[in-house]
A = this chain, B = another copy of it.
Amino acid sequence: MKKFNTRALSGMQELLPELQTEFDRLKSNILTVFRQHGFLHIETPTIERSEVLLAKAGGETGKQIYKVVKTAESVDEADQALRFDHTVPLARYTVEHLNELAFPFKVTQVARNFRGERPQRGRFREFYQCDVDVVGRNNLPLEYDAEVIMTLAEALLTLPLPGKFRVRVSNRKLLGGLLEALNLEQKADEIFGIIDHAEKVAPEKTVQALEELKIGSENVVKITTFMEICGDLVEIKPKLQDLGLENAKFRAGIEEITKVLYFLQHLREVAGAEFELVADMKIVRGLDYYTGTVFETVLLEHPEIGSICSGGRYENLASNYTDQSLPGVGGSIGLTRLFYILQNFGSVATENVKPVEYAIVLVGEEERISTTGLELVEKLRKNRHSAEIIWGEKKMGDKIKYTAQIAQKLIVIGENEVAAQNYQVKDLASGEKSELILG
């Protein structure tokens, strides 16, 4: 009888060991790609000063922050809270260690963040985010925008995704330049929001929302025409130029997106990496603090789940904490949510995932039998395998049943094996038997 509610809190992902093994494998694949691309791994504390977190967290995020309190002080006074993303702690870390870091600072964080969102299916309150960022000091070449996107794409390619994905790239200076040309900068937030939301509603709803801003029907047409621009470099450049905008911001936007996409195509070709790449003016990344490149990633066969990897460039990582200019570009894979989605698609196979490689069952109580077993286990471990002896006085059948639940292979050791120093390995998935050969 249970005396307590022992379920994990709602909004938390808690996995059984087999699923955890798969989750760990995917996470490790991602981090390996990040490291191979030269990103340095850091860990920042889970708990930060509230003022540090709140300096950047506006709107919904501000309301979702978990405060942390030790004693019976009131929550309003709580001066500590759980981080809700990796970017804010990275900003603090970079400013704090400014003189000890080498710039450009290529950095990765793969850890849990916390948001007290309303719990719903597929939304988590505690979730792994796998981030890469490059932070420059005073300047940061555009090649790093392409490199961040390429690194994330290569990490995604290590995952069991259902079908191909498409990376959709835009540049905030394009939409910014358009609004500047149309004298609509004061409505930028609303227009950014409408474009960001456009794919979730019928096209006429978007037009209607723009019309409600009372910006004139000509401007509505300009904006919707802009929004629809999508395709590869060759396709989009004339379309952007056809808009006839001559301001510096827009021209900078064209130059930047051209350079980033051109370089990204080159990287993709050299790596022989298979994913789609488009320029897509619908990508704005909502009200985030991006100022240049922005990108999202969708699964071609499952657009309904939205972006599985996104990010962009920010003019200044740490303007809240320092006067130093620290331009950056970064992006993130939300692994907890993605893993949940992959599970639902049946892309995470766990039936044959057994965390232990070799389980050894001893037949007989004699010490030379257990010694032989222990020596074999030791040899297997020295050869980088996981191996263990199943101890205790259970019946043979129960031991083998137990073994099949956790291990891939079974070795039985009794008098004969001790005498022959020769071991049969049974593959518990296929039932096949073979002789154990160690290097």
Contacts and interface: CB of A to CB of B under 8 A. Distances in A.
A223 B433 CA distance: 58
Interface stretch (A8-16, A172-180, A304-312): A8-16
A104 B392 contact: yes
Contacts of A215: none
Interface in A299-318: none
Contacts of A378: 270-271
A9 B321 CA distance: 16
Interface string A71-84: 11111101010100
A226 B40 CA distance: 53
Interface string A176-200: 0000000000000000000000000
Contacts of A82: 68
B6 A92 contact: yes
B321 A2 contact: yes
A60 interface: no
A126 B355 contact: no
Interface stretch (A277-285, A286-294, A381-389, A418-426): A381-389
A66 B114 CA distance: 15
A320 B6 contact: no
Contacts of A387: 36, 38
A388 B38 contact: yes
Nearest to A372: B270
A275 to B, nearest CB: 16
A370 B147 CA distance: 13
A1, A270, A375 interface centre (most CB from chain B within 10 Å): A270
A143 B41 contact: no
A233 to B, nearest CB: 16
B67 A68 contact: yes
B141 A392 contact: yes
Contacts of A143: 389, 391-392
A102 interface: yes
Given A41-B355, A107-B17, A7 B70 contact: no
A17 B7 CA distance: 37
A270 B46 contact: no
A322 B1 contact: yes
Contact of A267 (B2, B52, B144, B374): B374
A261 B410 CA distance: 28
A24 B21 CA distance: 19
A93 B70 CA distance: 25
B68 A43 contact: no
A291 to B, nearest CB: 19
A81 to B, nearest CB: 9
A86 interface: no
A3 B41 CA distance: 26
Interface in A127-174: 139-141, 143-144, 147
A126 to B, nearest CB: 6
A245 interface: no
Nearest to A402: B102
Given A35-B355, A40-B406, A46-B112, A69 B66 contact: yes
A26 to B, nearest CB: 13
Nearest to A115: B70
21 contacts: A3-B321, A3-B323, A4-B92, A4-B95, A6-B52, A7-B96, A8-B45, A9-B48, A9-B80, A17-B101, A20-B41, A35-B386, A38-B386, A38-B406, A46-B114, A47-B66, A47-B114, A67-B68, A69-B75, A70-B116, A266-B371
Given A8-B96, A270-B374, A271-B378, 12 more contacts: A2-B322, A4-B51, A6-B92, A9-B80, A15-B42, A20-B40, A36-B386, A66-B70, A68-B82, A72-B75, A144-B391, A147-B388
